[in-house]
Amino acid sequence: KDFLREICKVLVIGAGGLGCEILQNLAMLGFGDVHVIDMDTIDLSNLNRQFLFREKDIGRPKSIVAAEFINRRITSCKVTPHHCKIQDKEDSFYLSFNIIICGLDSVQARRWINSTLFNLFDQDDPKTMIPLIDGGTEGFKGQSRVILPYMTSCYECSLEMLTPQTKFPICTIANTPRLPEHCIEWASVLEWPKVFKDLKLDGDNPDHIQWLFDQASNRAKTFSIEGVTWSLTQGVVKNIIPAIASTNAIIAASCCNEAFKIATNSAPFLQNYMMYTGNDSVYTFTFKHERKPDCQVCGDSDKDPIRLDVSKSSTLEELIDLLIESPNLYVKQ
């Protein structure tokens, strides 16, 4: 009890739907020193599931508002907010924590914190082994896992399990669109650079999304395609994954349960991967995800580099497609 309240220091990465649930659970479990880091601000669409926020908070940083809410309601827990990117923090910041919990919706951010914690580990200093508990949700599906540097598989080991990134052929987008998503991709990939040239498209800018929505709607009418909406436009541009409050609650509970077991040694912690499905029933499956000997983060020191077969006649576009589609690389599109 004293360790939880006075010594154990926990970092929560992400203050969205999953992060809000995690923060609440940690505070209610008795953790006394919690930090939360998130670069996003609150949007109206967040309010249906991110229950630490209210309408008056729209536009404010998620991490700050979440910390204020918990500090006000549960005085035994001090939550310290950090409104910035995880990449903005020094190594010493991450080394100061006993446990780190991820409630992220980004593969790239997960890969970064996973690699960082493995690079910080010094086998001669046990204090540098920081448990990483990762939670993720997608609609009615979710997963939680415990990652210990060089003792368990790391996040990079499981890239092949990720759903392939949605990618539409340029020729279809340009000439024969059949879906509302094709029209939106046409507006964002082909028309935006043509009209605005050097102006970078911002998926969080309502004016940018409105312009794309208008263009996509007009194109959809031309090809008699229905279903283009403002929310779908933003979803395609930002690759937004549907979020269900109940799934967030279940996965957050699993993550915090593992954090409690690790902090208190009250029971064996997860070994090491739990998947949940709630589409038409409640189903969970736990298994030990094995390390990949050739993993670029935690694999053997003499591992071979990743090799890709590229034809001499391949274009730059084809090379980029190959990098994006490779399950070993999962390069951001």
49-95 residue pLDDT tens: 999 999 999 999 999 999 999 999 999 999 999 999 999 999 999 99
The predicted model scores a pTM of: 0.78
Q: How far apart are CA 37 and CA 81, in angstroms?
A: 6
Sheet holding 99-102, edge to edge: 78-82, 33-37, 9-13, 99-102, 132-138, 141-147, 273-277, 283-287
b/e burial code for range 193-209 (CB count within 10 A of at least 16 → b): eeeeeeeebebeeeebb
Higher local confidence (pLDDT), 263 or 163 = 263
Cα–Cα distance for residue pair 22/82, rounded to 1 Å = 16
Distance CA 35, CA 28 (A): 15
Taking each helix axis from N to C terminus, what angle separates 62-73 and 17-29, rounded to the nearest 10 degrees?
30
Please tell me the predicted confidence (pLDDT) of residue 132.
Answer: 98
pLDDT at 186 > cutoff 70? yes
SS3 track for 293-322:
CCCCCCCCCCCCCCCCCCCCCCCHHHHHHH
Which of 8-17, 148-157, 159-168 is least confident?
A: 159-168
Domain parsing of the chain, residue ranges: 2-162+242-287, 170-238
Q: Are 130 and 113 in contact (CB under 8 A)?
A: no
pLDDT above 90 as % of the chain: 66
Summarize pLDDT for 299-332 with one digit per residue, the tens: 876 666 677 788 888 888 777 777 766 656 655 5
Give percent of the chain with pLDDT exceeding 70.
Answer: 93
Please state which architecture CATH assigns to domain 170-238: Orthogonal Bundle (1.10)
Average pLDDT of the segment spanning 176-180: 89
Write the DSSP symbol of residue 151.
T
Q: Which residues contact 136 (CB under 8 A, 6 or more apart)?
A: 18, 102, 104, 105, 110, 142, 143, 144, 251
- Whether 264 shows a pLDDT value over 70: the answer reads yes
Mean pLDDT of 130-153: 95
**One of 8, 154, 157, 171 is an active-site residue; which one?**
171
Q: Which of 83, 69, 65 is CA-nearest to residue 13?
A: 83
CA distance 211 to 217: 10
pLDDT exceeds cutoff 90 at 203: no
8: annotated active-site residue: no
Class of the CATH-defined domain 2-162+242-287: alpha beta
Domains 2-162+242-287 and 170-238 share a fold: no
Mean pLDDT over the full length of the chain: 90
pLDDT at 136 over 90: yes
Tally Cβ neighbours within 10 Å of residue 299.
16
Sign of CA dihedral 130, 11, 271, 305: negative
